[in-house]
A and B are shown apart, each in its own frame.
Chain A
Amino acid sequence: MHSFNLQLLYFLILITFLSGAIVSLILSKNNRLGNIISNILYSIASLTGIITSIYFLLSDKTRIILLHINSNIPFLSFKLEMGKLSAYFILTLSILTLCVSIYSISYLSQYYGKRNTGGFNFLLGIFIVSLILVFSSGNMIVFLLAWEIMSLSSYFLVIFESELPATQKAGTIYLVMTHIATAFLTIAFLTIYAYSGSFDIANAAALIPTTVKNIIFICLVLGFGTKAGIIPLHIWLPYAHPAAPSNVSALMSGIMIKTSVFGLIQFVFVVLGGGYDWWGITLVILGSVSAVLGVAYAFMEIDIKRLLAYSSIENTGIILIGIGLSVYGYSRGNSILSSLALIAALIHLLNHSLFKGALFLGAGSVYYSTHSKNMEKLGGLIKKMPYTALFFLIACLSISSMPFFNGFISEWFTLQALFQSIGVSPQGFKLIAILAAAALALSGALAAACFVKTFGISFLGLPRSTEAQNSKEAPATMLIGSGILTLLCVVLGLFPKIALTLLNKLSYSVVHNSVVPDLKGFSSFVYYPIGLETNKISPMFILVAAIVLVGIVFCLFKLIGRGSKQRTYSTWDCGFRELNPRMQYSATGFSKPLRIIFRAIYRPSRELQTEEGTSPYYPKSMKYVVLTQSVFEKYLYIPLTHLFTSFSKKVRSSVQTGSVHTYLLYIFIAIIAMLIYYRFS
């Protein structure tokens, strides 16, 4: 196959997605038919995307130009190109869209006749195409255009259930935040253009002075950070993800917030040519803070999708730690560290999109059959929806970075990179790296607790509501969609060599080195790079230790429990006649210990409302509410918006006086000023 075929395949993907979108719009009267046809087209396009990007990742070409249209206006040209990095992101996107579009065939059936599913699928197609364009953009204008289309189409997808006030609020917050991001990106891009004289995404490091590079970096972090949802720019995520339909949340969390990681790598490594130590340190610190706080907030949530949204913040944090280490290693000339960290970040990115996709789709299946996202209303679903529960469990294990699942591999790589950096860096950064490692470990533990809660409360125990009682297993296509994702989680967990092979050439093209050939494998899942022997953790030892420990515990148990008899009986109810679902451990109760420990960030408060009855001892009803505050919203965003609106009001009332003479005076002053300027220029 030569490059012509690759171009052809690429355009085939785009055209198939677009035709799916258009077909869905044409058939919008016939919900069912349009939905099925467009989603089948989307899955075909995604399959093509998977094949194309894997082929390109393994081929020897570093970069091919797919399309280049020049216009007469000097800086305005339309350029699409594919590099290794783009191919990797398109691969991630295609895997996810394949599963999501299979899933959507049944998932959208709940909206037939009630909502415009044709329009929905159309927007979904546009959204996916814009994502592909972002990943394959060859210059900043195409990047910004595609970025904006992506933001707007995802906004309309978020507000699909637009009559709900919560959805409207979520949409507005999302729209505002995403445009703040675009504003910062535009500043960064124009600054690059001002110095390099070209909008191409190509190395411009030599043309830009140091101070300006630093300013560009800050703009990029603010812009991409808002989209990625790093704390404290994260506030839109916990609103937008729960409001959107589950298939959209899966795509948004799985791949859309990763566009910012793509952009960061693309602009820091390719355009700015590496960077400085402090860039890496900043990213590591931001990543660590986001990882810990993200999961800490996730633990408090009782809405499954809000919880997953916060967990996305955590995982973006982990990816950012990797990117930060890579930037740091690159600027210090440590190619092993930069390559290892980059690979860690990119594997985690793929893994996160797999298991987070599976979790969102699982949450969607639960919502499909119970119409509830509130964990306190679920329970006992494992008996009603066994397959959904199985897939959800596997995804939970992956996201909690349990060994033998993919989440473990990438977090282990990130930890390895951190340990490696402790060995080779000066004192100051050592401390940061140690703290970051601790933060990573803490976030891993919290994530495990968080998903024990999610799975335990929603799927185990007794049903807490009649909806949960009457729930049914999700339809086959929905199971297939989330099933493929969980299968991939297991496969990548057992055979990480697959992902490593894909990343080998990518790492060369971005940081000019790759640790993949040096990774020696004892078995399919034990790796440590040569040259890293000083600081290594071998998962093999963990496995051995685990087996030994389990063996010891089992033997002890058998030894002590000799001679006791077993009988099967219902759960002990303390002598209370019968157990009911309300006596179970609740999600709020489960998170109580952590709420006490992290009082400082949660600021919990409780409220007891009592409706007086005939006697103070027999109240009519009592209502107990536990609240946690969003510190960033209360102390950062609300004061900022107040300041901004009051300032704008003041300016408006002094500028727009309503007097015609004042307006005329503005024109007059402007003309006079221009004349004076002309005289002295």
Chain B
Amino acid sequence: MDSCLNLLSILILLSSFILVANKRVISYIRTFRLQSLLLAILSGVIGIYSIEKTGEIDILIVCVITFAVKVVLIPKLLKTTVTKVGYKVEKDFFLNIPISILICCGLFILTYFSVSTINDIKDAQVKAYLVNSISVILIGLFFMISRKKAIGQIIGFLVMENGLFTTAVLTTHGMPMIVELGLFFDVLTAVLIMGILVFRINENFDSIDINKLRNLKG
């Protein structure tokens, strides 16, 4: 059980490294889908485990919703957005890929050092989960900074959310159902709104490069 969770959490971390290594907008979405799938599997494993143990099916429901929203719905929405604004292959990052990967490794090491000093967490396994999932959050944020196109920011945001979700699921074995549902709706609405915003930006600036928003400041 533990080794299975450990593997999955490392895979989720790896998928965020893959995301940073991606060059094209379409592949961002694919990687995000992969990560979400891993997340769904993770919550499925925990769900089955908790059914065996206590008979609660909450986490299993969460797993199903995760699959529906994050693996199917959101990537689809994002794809329509990308196709509508006109997909072009052009350089989308400030730092080149190797440097980005190195920075992400640095972030991982930093997280490891910070989290390892938390004395109140006695369980070494939970500490390892925390390191992985907090790294995912930081990498998501870094991804938002390093990409020019607005789609990059949306994906970064979603990856951060995935990281948070992983943290929650791995350390607490499932938050109350109502909180989870709220989170899903939040993410879904955020993606919808951001998608619409991307259209608007594209309409007004003929590009979704958010550097062009510079002159909007008061």
Residues of A within 8 A of B (CB): 656-661, 664-665, 667-668, 671-672, 675-676, 678-679
Per CB-CB distance, the 9 closest pairs between chain A and chain B, nearest first, are A658-B217, A658-B214, A675-B114, A679-B114, A664-B145, A660-B210, A679-B113, A678-B114, A664-B144
> 10 other contacts beyond A661-B210, A665-B145, with CB at 8 A cut-off?
A656-B217, A658-B214, A658-B217, A660-B213, A661-B145, A667-B141, A668-B138, A671-B138, A672-B110, A679-B110
Identify the closest chain B residue to A661 (Cβ). B145
Identify the closest chain B residue to A681 (Cβ). B117
Interfacial chain A residues near B107, Cβ < 8 Å:
672
B142 contacts A661, C-beta separation under 8 Å: no
Residues of B within 8 A of A (CB): 94, 107, 110-111, 113-114, 117, 138, 141-142, 144-145, 153, 210-211, 213-217
How far, in whole Å, are A125 and B117 apart by their CA atoms in the complex? 59
How far, in whole Å, are A657 and B218 apart by their CA atoms in the complex? 10
B215 contacts A660, C-beta separation under 8 Å: no
B214 contacts A659, C-beta separation under 8 Å: yes
Beyond A656-B217, A659-B214, A661-B210, is A671–B141 a contact (Cβ under 8 Å)? yes
20 A-B pairs in the complex with CB atoms less than 8 angstroms apart: A656-B217, A658-B213, A659-B210, A660-B153, A661-B94, A661-B145, A661-B211, A664-B141, A664-B144, A664-B145, A667-B141, A668-B138, A668-B145, A671-B141, A675-B111, A676-B114, A678-B117, A679-B113, A679-B114, A679-B117
Interface of A is mostly: helix
Identify the closest chain A residue to B216 (Cβ). A658
Interfacial chain A residues near B213, Cβ < 8 Å:
658-660
Q: Tell me the minimal C-beta distance from B159 to chain A in angstroms.
A: 13
Q: Tell me the minimal C-beta distance from A132 to chain B in angstroms.
A: 43
Interface of B is mostly: helix
Q: Tell me the minimal C-beta distance from B92 to chain A in angstroms.
A: 12
Identify the closest chain B residue to A659 (Cβ). B214
How far, in whole Å, are A657 and B210 apart by their CA atoms in the complex? 13
Identify the closest chain B residue to A668 (Cβ). B141
Interfacial chain B residues near A678, Cβ < 8 Å:
114, 117
Which of B117, B138, B215 is close to A658, meaning CB atoms less than 8 Å apart? B215
How far, in whole Å, are A676 and B211 apart by their CA atoms in the complex? 30
Q: Tell me the minimal C-beta distance from B172 to chain A in angstroms.
A: 21
How far, in whole Å, are A518 and B145 apart by their CA atoms in the complex? 79
Interfacial chain A residues near B214, Cβ < 8 Å:
657-659
Which of B110, B145, B210 is close to A675, meaning CB atoms less than 8 Å apart? B110
Interfacial chain A residues near B215, Cβ < 8 Å:
658
How far, in whole Å, are A578 and B215 apart by their CA atoms in the complex? 72
How far, in whole Å, are A231 and B102 apart by their CA atoms in the complex? 61
How far, in whole Å, are A679 and B141 apart by their CA atoms in the complex? 20
Interfacial chain A residues near B117, Cβ < 8 Å:
678-679
Q: Tell me the minimal C-beta distance from A680 to chain B in angstroms.
A: 9
Q: Tell me the minimal C-beta distance from A12 to chain B in angstroms.
A: 52
Interfacial chain B residues near A675, Cβ < 8 Å:
110-111, 114
Q: Tell me the minimal C-beta distance from B80 to chain A in angstroms.
A: 23
Interfacial chain B residues near A665, Cβ < 8 Å:
145
Interfacial chain A residues near B94, Cβ < 8 Å:
661
Identify the closest chain B residue to A653 (Cβ). B217
How far, in whole Å, are A664 and B111 apart by their CA atoms in the complex? 19
B141 contacts A659, C-beta separation under 8 Å: no
Q: Tell me the minimal C-beta distance from B153 to chain A in angstroms.
A: 7
Interfacial chain A residues near B211, Cβ < 8 Å:
659, 661
Q: Tell me the minimal C-beta distance from A215 to chain B in angstroms.
A: 37
Interfacial chain B residues near A667, Cβ < 8 Å:
141
How far, in whole Å, are A660 and B144 apart by their CA atoms in the complex? 10
B145 contacts A676, C-beta separation under 8 Å: no
How far, in whole Å, are A421 and B94 apart by their CA atoms in the complex? 74
How far, in whole Å, are A539 and B21 apart by their CA atoms in the complex? 95
How far, in whole Å, are A658 and B153 apart by their CA atoms in the complex? 16
Interfacial chain B residues near A659, Cβ < 8 Å:
210-211, 213-214
Interfacial chain A residues near B142, Cβ < 8 Å:
668
Identify the closest chain A residue to B134 (Cβ). A675
Interfacial chain B residues near A657, Cβ < 8 Å:
214, 217
How far, in whole Å, are A671 and B137 apart by their CA atoms in the complex? 11
Q: Tell me the minimal C-beta distance from B158 to chain A in angstroms.
A: 15
How far, in whole Å, are A164 and B215 apart by their CA atoms in the complex? 37
Q: Tell me the minimal C-beta distance from A673 to chain B in angstroms.
A: 11
Identify the closest chain A residue to B113 (Cβ). A679
Identify the closest chain A residue to B213 (Cβ). A660
Q: Tell me the minimal C-beta distance from B180 to chain A in angstroms.
A: 24
